Amino acid sequence: MRFNFLAAAVVAATFSACFVQPLAAQTAEQLTFIPAGGRTLLTNIATSKPPADELKALLTGKRSRDEWSSYLTAHSQAVPALQSQSDKQRLTLADYLSFHMPLPANQVPANLTRTDWTRTLPKDGRDLALDNCQGCHIITVVVTQERTKKAWLGTMSTPAHAVIKMTPAERDELASYLVLNAGIPIEQVPEELRASGATY
């Protein structure tokens, strides 16, 4: 209940601010408080010079999230970049891999060392949130909420949200990312992204 109350306050403050001036575009730097999604986490691994066969195995395997999570733990000796990930990051990456791997054969780069990974890899949950959840209210409304997956899917099917052009698979992936990474305490949100009335 506490979270709903906070959300209502942030939404109300954001909407009233909208009439005065449009929401200023957020810079990438202001948004760094929102945790990296799987695309970024995988890019970091791909550019850490891992053994080519290990990298290829990440791009071409088919596993559930739990299977990927165990797989990543088991391969952290061979891929040292995995060792610096927190448990939450490993789960976020495992979740992403379960949605997007194996990559279609024609999307697996021929030369793994000279690839623009940011462009090659499919969007992650963070990308989906930034692309789809800032049009009507500030992103803070979304990322400060702690919800179950079912509750997130429910939020996304209310009348205000059902109209958003996202596929069911994208909604599922976004909900999964938010379960793991939303619920950010308001103190960690840059002040300019805390709508007045929701800061305390």
Q: Using CA atoms of 184, 190, 191, 193 in order, give the dihedral in degrees to the nearest 10.
A: -80
26 lines the binding site for ligand HEC (CB under 6 A): no
157 lines the binding site for ligand HEC (CB under 6 A): no
18 lines the binding site for ligand HEC (CB under 6 A): no
Residue 82 and residue 185: Cα distance in Å, rounded?
26
Of 17, 164, 184, 186, the one binding ligand HEC by CB under 6 A = 164
User: Interacting stretch for ligand HEC, rule CB under 6 A, among 17-25, 43-51, 116-124, 137-145?
Assistant: 137-145
Q: Is the dihedral of CA 87, 183, 39, 150 positive or negative?
A: positive
Residues of this chain, 46-105, that bind ligand HEC according to CB under 6 A: none
Of 22, 104, 135, 168, the one binding ligand HEC by CB under 6 A = 135
3-state helix, strand and coil shares in percent for the chain, rounded to the nearest 5: 60, 0, 40
Residue 71 and residue 33: Cα distance in Å, rounded?
28
At 194 the three-state DSSP class reads coil
What letter would DSSP give residue 173?
H
Residue 10 CB partners (closer than 8 Å, separation 6+): 137, 138, 140, 141, 144, 194, 195, 197, 198
7 lines the binding site for ligand HEC (CB under 6 A): yes
CA distance from start to end of the chain: 17
Q: Between residues 1 and 110, which has the closer beta carbon with respect to ligand HEC?
A: 1
Q: Between residues 47 and 132, which has the closer beta carbon with respect to ligand HEC?
A: 132
Q: How far is the CB of 81 from ligand HEC (least distance, A)?
A: 30
Q: How far is the CB of 52 from ligand HEC (least distance, A)?
A: 37
Q: How far is the CB of 145 from ligand HEC (least distance, A)?
A: 5
145 lines the binding site for ligand HEC (CB under 6 A): yes
Which residues contribute to the site for ligand HEC (CB under 6 A)? 4, 7, 11, 132-133, 135-137, 141-142, 145, 155-156, 158, 160-161, 163-164
